[in-house]
Structure 1
Amino acid sequence: MPQRLIATERLNEGYEVTIDLLSTHTGLALEQLIAQPVTLWIRQHEGDTLPWHGYVHTAKRLGSDGGLDFCQLSFSSWLHFLRFRKDARIWQDKRTEDILADVFNNHPQARGHYRFALERTYVPRSYCTQYETDWHFVQRLMEEEGWFAHHEQREDGNGHVLVITDNTWSLPGLPQQGIAFHGAAPRDELDKILHWSASRTLSSKTWRGRSDNYKSPRMQKEAEEQVMPEYGQLPAQLEMYEYTGAYSFAQQAQGNRQADLQVEQWESSMQRYAAVSGVRNLACGRWFRLEEHPLHRAEPDRERQFVILAIDWFIENNLPLSHQALDFPGSLSATLAAFKDSIRRERQVDETDNEHTGHCFNRFEVQRRKLPFRAARTHARPVIHLWDKVIRTLRTRPGAF
């Protein structure tokens, strides 16, 4: 029986759900739960439920009390399996989507559970190597292409699909599309935004990239792009020069595309909004229209559309036992209480009111839908120490080269 839940979801990275559970079946074999599929159903305030499917990667027994075991499970999307497989492989003259499909199909949990929804047509990669985990490799290629991914849950709860796209306008909206801001009523949180804030950050102004062509060593190609003036008066010296690697773009248009992607990532990260809500059907990669906020009310419809980039969930089941049960070390109780206190939703519950301890809140980050989203390039190409291998070979096999 689910007692409480904390979950994180990030656009392009998937999700992780951790649940405190009460079990009347004592002595569960935890190892039998690992890598098994599981579906959590989240009740909506209209009465229907939405599924959250994944695969268990961590199982704990926190303690026992009488005939109850207090357990904790963590599950994630099938993307999590990619962290535990590493390969050394080469592709030549292959499209990036075909390369990713090859990697995904190494995992039975992924086969038939992904699709590409790309607006642009992309040229094949002349030479592509993997010397890292599947997770790092997939993230690196998507960052290089400017792609990002979100998940769709199957309505029957029997699976989920990874959707890879390159355009925020192709993302689906929430069913209700409009979400009202209603911060004044502290007990009226259902399907409303309770807190809304904005942030602006400093960034570099100019990106310049250079590449060599191994087919024509004397030919060097360069590309350049700048942040648009509407993002602020950035100091002129904030320039980034980068050698993008040999043959990183064969044509000038490809170099210009690399420059655009880097600057679009800066522009995306410079303007973000954060919110707290009681809306139960939020998901990364969905968009909504903000309603009734005093600072945005006069804006046109297009300006009030926001894409969800990250969500943190804080849920406690509406059961008397949730309040009465012991809290063992490692449980989610303290983290949930701290979050409720931070948003001023904590309250005293006495024995006559303990059936109303349940709650469902989330904290999320968004950007305007009209802006491209690009993930920060945090997954660098692995460095292969070739000379170390050459020296070791010469020592063991003189004359090998």
Structure 2
Amino acid sequence: VHKPYEFEIELVHDSACLDFAELLGRPACLGIADKSGGVRHVNGVIRRFTQLHTANVRTHYLAVLVPRLWFLGLVTDHRIFQNMSVPRIIEQVLKEQNFTGDSYAFKCFFDYAPREYCVQYGETALHFISRLCEEEGIYFYFEHFQDRHVLCFSDREGGPLIGGESLLRFHPGAGTETDAPTVRTVELRRTIGSDACTFREWNFEKTRLNLEVGQLEADPLKAPVPVGMTLEQYHYPHLYQLQKDGNRYASLELLRHFSLSRRIEATTDVSRMTPGHVFELHEHPRPDLNDRWWAVRVTHRGEQPQVLEHEAPDRGMTYIASLMAIPDSTRFVPASDHPKNPVIGDQTAIVTGPGGEEIFPDRHGRVKVQFHWDRLGAFDEKTTCWIRVSQGWAGGQYGTMAIPRIGQEVIVSFLEGDPDRPIVTGRVYNAANPVPYPLPEHKTRTVFKS
């Protein structure tokens, strides 16, 4: 879950001269037989193809099958999204790479407010999508069909049932085989995580507002911690400017720590086991394990040696899957594995505004700019969010006020290195806006000229 899958498939062929160009980037489907009589399909795209060795007239090849989403890890960009929710941003990125409407689905329960300003700063499209999902508590998984695979986004507990029979018997077997698919081994794991989360923020428009929020899980069954300790995670800053949003993010952070705190590690011969899908275990000697479980990770290993007639004529097909699963009543919040790319140092940008205007501020003296890396901006009043401007002196209705003019070049810093938090900290001359008098002839002059 929340990662592109990858299948390595060793193949044999009569030809030692396959044309790789006809295979790379092409859709393919792997069929895995199941003891239930059905076939589990794994649909994807071939991203790598390797010729191995030739033996007994047969040539061995290795194909690597991945989802279309994997290729977004090869696409980087610097761009700005404004007044769009996270699902809308993700959908736009997918559509730009020709993801059709039947190749992805949003199955989210919660509504997501538009973000005023959201920057993809040198991130791959895959990293960007993953980060936005992690920030909002959304995860993705895949549904497979013979002719396509579907990228699904969700924020719900649990998910769809695995294909075919989802009620699976625990049967350790001690090496014996059964005709029906079973779960062979189960290990229950509990881990300790943080039981408290606190965020703090600052809103310059509401300076008296305390934007510190916190969540504490006091139930020791949900959050077992050493006696007398509070394992608090404290973060500043975060993504909110209103307290209600801060409470939501703090709750998500706490859920993130609980997501994998109670889980099972299991092995099974059920080839239909798929991340993001649910199965039900029964006949385990520990009653609380006979429950519905949601697969987070699955590793498959199978062999079909009988196709190599000269090497293993008497060996049948073998298959085993190792998996990690959590109770399907647990809301899964993905780990924050994709941090935002920081802006290292300052940048310069050009002040922008509507045509026919010389100055374009808001009531706080903020301006908008066009960054040099922004290839989609139109040098108008929609290029960025409103950006605060540093002045030489600022107090309660006193100080200095020199608003940058449209077309001037300004120095932009980023609070905490965050590309979503620009602030104008200086102004510089350039060829289009030269110094006010000849230099170095008049180098002794000090001038303030408007």
Structure 1 counterpart of 2:322, which letter? R
Alpha-carbon distance between aligned partners in 2 of 1:89 and 1:180, rounded to the nearest angstrom:
51
CA distance in 1, matches of 2:175, 2:323: 19
Query: Which residue number in structure 1 is paired with residue 153 of structure 2?
Result: 164
SS in 2 for 1:319: helix
Match of 1:205 among 195, 203, 218: 195
**1:187 pairs with 2:176:** yes
Q: Is the 8 A contact 1:104 1:111 kept in 2?
A: no
Give the deviation of 1:105 after TM superposition. Answer: 0.9
Residue 309 (structure 1) aligned with residue 296 (structure 2): yes
Displacement, 1:153?
1.3
Residue 86 of structure 2 is aligned to residue 96 of structure 1:
yes
Q: Does the CA-based 8 Å contact 1:81-1:107 persist in structure 2?
A: no
Distance (whole Å) between structure 1 residues aligned to residue 303 and residue 224 of structure 2: 46
- Determine the structure 2 residue equivalent to 1:244: 237
1:153 equivalent to 2:112? Answer no
| Separation in structure 2 between the aligned mates of residue 388 and residue 250 of structure 1, nearest angstrom | 25
List aligned pairs for 1:253-292, cutoff 5 A.
Answer: 253-292=244-283
Determine helix, strand or coil for the equivalent of 2:259.
helix
Aligned to 2:354: none
Aligned to 2:166: 177
Kept after mapping to 2: 8 A contact 1:311/1:362: yes
Could you give the per-residue CA deviations for residues 157-213 of structure 1, whole angstroms, max 9, x where no partner exists? 111111111112454454322111000342225410110001112212211011222
Match of 2:285 among 283, 294, 312: 294
Distance 1:226 1:34 in 2: 51
Secondary structure, counterpart of 1:59 in structure 2? strand
Distance 1:214 1:357 in 2: 69
C-alpha change, 1:205 and 1:100, in structure 2 (3 Å) is same
Say yes or no: does 1:363 pair with 2:353.
Answer: no
Instruction: Give the aligned residue type for 1:380.
Output: P
Output the amino acid matched with 2:234.
Y
Deviating beyond 3 angstroms after TM superposition, the runs of 4 or more aligned structure 1 residues are 109-112, 169-175, 214-220, 388-391, 393-401
Cα distance in 2, alignment partners of residues 249 and 19 from structure 1: 45
State the distance in 2 between where 1:103 and 1:174 align. 30
Residue type matched to 2:316 in 1? T
Q: What residue number does 1:48 align with?
A: 38
Number of aligned positions between the proteins: 354
User: Quick check: 2:305–2:315 contact (8 Å CA) kept in 1?
Assistant: yes
> Structure 1 pair 214/377, CA: closer, same or farther in 2 (3 Å)?
farther
Are residues 25 and 43 of structure 1, via their aligned partners in 2, closer, same or farther at CA, if it must alter by over 3 Å?
same
The alpha carbon displacement at 1:77 in A equals 0.8
User: Which residue in the other structure is 1:4 paired with?
Assistant: none
Could you tell me which amino acid in structure 2 is paired with residue 266 of structure 1? Answer: H
What's the secondary structure of 1:168's corresponding residue? Answer: coil
Q: Secondary structure in 1 aligned to 2:77?
A: strand
Name which of structure 1's ranges 212-221 and 307-316 shifts more when overlaid on structure 2.
Answer: 212-221
Structure 1 residues 261 and 102: CA distance shift in structure 2, 3 A: same
Query: Which of the pair has more CA radius of gyration?
Result: 2
SS at match of 1:265: helix
2:335 pairs with one of 361, 365, 376: 376
**How much does 1:244 deviate?**
3.2
Counterpart residue identity of residue 303, structure 2: E
Instruction: Please give the alpha-carbon distance, in whole angstroms, between the structure 2 residues aligned to 1:163 and 1:18.
Output: 23
Unaligned runs of 5+ in 1: 1-10, 326-350
Whole-angstrom CA distance in 1 between matches of 2:427 and 2:115? 33
TM-score by structure 1 length?
0.81
2:137, 2:252 within 8 Å by CA — same for their partners in 1? yes
Greater RCO (Cα-Cα under 8 Å, separation 6 or more):
1
Matched, 1:23 2:16: no
Q: Secondary structure at the match of 1:40?
A: strand
- Give the structure 2 partner of residue 63 of structure 1: 53
User: Counterpart amino acid of 2:18?
Assistant: L
Residue type matched to 2:306 in 1?
L
Is the Cα contact below 8 Å between 1:394 and 1:400 reproduced in 2?
Answer: no
Q: Counterpart of 1:130 in 2: which secondary structure?
A: strand
The answer to which structure has the higher strand fraction is 1
* 8 A contact 1:283–1:311 mirrored in 2: yes
- Distance, in Å, in 2 between the alignment partners of 1:214 and 1:172 is 48
- The change in CA–CA distance for 1:148 and 1:64 in structure 2 (over 3 A counts) is same
Pairing partner for 1:385 from 340, 344, 364:
344
Measured against aligned partners, the alpha-carbon deviations of 1:134-164 in whole angstroms (never above 9, x if no partner) come to 011000010011111111112xx11111111
> Structure 1 pair 394/59, CA: closer, same or farther in 2 (3 Å)?
farther
8 Å CA contact retained: 1:50, 1:281: yes
Paired AA for residue 268 in structure 2: S
Instruction: Give the conservation status (yes or no) of the 8 Å contact 1:27–1:69.
Output: no
Structure (1/2) with the larger helix percentage: 1
Taking a change above 3 Å as real, the CA distance of residues 23 and 231 of structure 1, as seen in their structure-2 partners, is same
> CA contact under 8 A between 1:174 and 1:287: conserved in structure 2?
no
Q: If the length of structure 2 is used for normalisation, what is the TM-score?
A: 0.73
CA contact (8 A) 2:193 2:223 kept: no
Give, in whole Å, the separation in 2 of the partners of 1:34 and 1:388. 41
